[in-house]
Amino acid sequence: MESTTVTNTNSTAMNTIEAVKRLQKEYEGDIIAWRRHLHQYPEVSFEEQATTQYLAGELDKLGIPYEINTEKNTGIVAWIEGAKPGKTIMLRADIDALNVTEQTGHEFASKHEGKMHACGHDAHMAILLGAAKMLKTLQQDIEGKVFLVFQPAEESAEGAKYMKEFGTWFAETDSVFGGHIWIDLPAGQISVEAGERMAASLELGIEIEGQAGHGAQPHLTVDATVVAAAIIMNLQTLVSRHFNPLESVVVTIGKVTSGDRYNVISGHAKLEGTARYFKHSIGDELKKAMTQMAEETAKGYGATANVTFRQMVPPTINEPASSDLAKRVGAELIGEDNVVLMEKTMAGEDFAYYLEEKPGCFAFFGIANPELDAVHSHHSNFFKIDESALAIGSAMYTQYALQWLKEHNDK
């Protein structure tokens, strides 16, 4: 890795956008090296203790103060105080990996068997470290305070709540900014439009109770497997017939458990699945409708169904003014043609919990490049990225923070 010693920059004499562009080039080697190191040592949700210690060590080298969340000894809140007073903005990176066996063939592939940064959180950590280094270099230009949050457990949708309850940083924060590298965008492009960007995610469980019996005597049983199949089919009609077709709704049953033996009619079945939507009102109606559909279907077969839900994440919705600022910053950094429109996605993101209470923006950074085999979907064993996107992300985080604080300074 290149030296992490912070270069003194006489940035007061130059436009910060030019300073950030220069630092983007100067620090790119560091940012890539951070990412490749972190890629080799993935840790899954709430097990990121070694990752947290590594990040703390890099922040020490940069001279940036921080606190580690000691509840589980994972997660960091660092901060940089500007030379001038002002408001406070938070920049966030998630830090957890997945239980995926890597098959990329990278020289820097995972050294932890069965675990992989297959979603890009290694890139997010490197991007935020790069932004931390840039902001430390440009500290004299910061009009306020920047929190740098390295958040665990995004994949389990528990980390944002965990970090929000740590200390007073969230109460002190006026605005939030985060992002995700994205395989559906070519490297060098970003998407930061306003409004609905990622879906709410609801975990669904249905326990079905029938009456077990011999496979040769079905008339003496209530077949929980048949009931489960009927519920699965009927749930799909909620999407096609219950909700406005102009509103996006997804209902998926991903796991079915029923029966113990080939010639025994099962008396118990369990369905597990997920529902996705973008409006809170739809979520409330969807839970009500799924419960009614499961219970009434089971009743029609002489069985019972117990339906439970767990809200994984709410919808991720970008505040218009923050999105507008991100577009302007992106255009200055990489050109207006590279700030593109992207369709919202049914994937979920726990950054939504920050956006529920604070104005802000969640960005997508393109990483696709067929020449580098960076074409595989997130969570794939073969997931790769075009690393040229990393320094762009760091520059975007940095300039967005500087510009937001400047424009919201009550002089």
Q: Which residue ranges are tagged as binding site?
A: 119, 121, 155, 180, 379
C-alpha to C-alpha distance for 9 and 119, rounded to whole angstroms: 35
Interior CA angle at 83 toward 78 and 89, to 5°? 45
Alpha helices in 104-154 (DSSP H): 121-137
Angle 320-334/388-407 helices, nearest 10 degrees? 130
> Positive or negative CA dihedral for 352, 353, 359, 362?
negative
Question: Residues comprising the binding site for Mn(2+)?
Answer: 119, 121, 155, 180, 379
Which phi and psi (to 5°) does residue 265 adopt? -75, 125
Strand partners, 176: 90, 360
Alpha helices in 242-319 (DSSP H): 280-300
Three-state DSSP state, 244: coil
Amino acid at 276: R
Angle 121-137/28-40 helices, nearest 10 degrees? 150
C-alpha to C-alpha distance for 279 and 316, rounded to whole angstroms: 10
Q: β-pairing, 190-191 with 360-368?
A: antiparallel
C-alpha to C-alpha distance for 134 and 124, rounded to whole angstroms: 15
Q: β-pairing, 84-94 with 200-209?
A: unpaired
C-alpha to C-alpha distance for 163 and 148, rounded to whole angstroms: 12
Strand partners, 9: none
In this structure, are residues 82 and 142 in contact, taking their beta carbons and an 8 Å threshold?
yes
C-alpha to C-alpha distance for 71 and 147, rounded to whole angstroms: 19
Amino acid at 405: L
DSSP designation for 12? G
Q: Give burial (CB, 10 Å; 0-12/13-18/19+) of 31.
A: buried
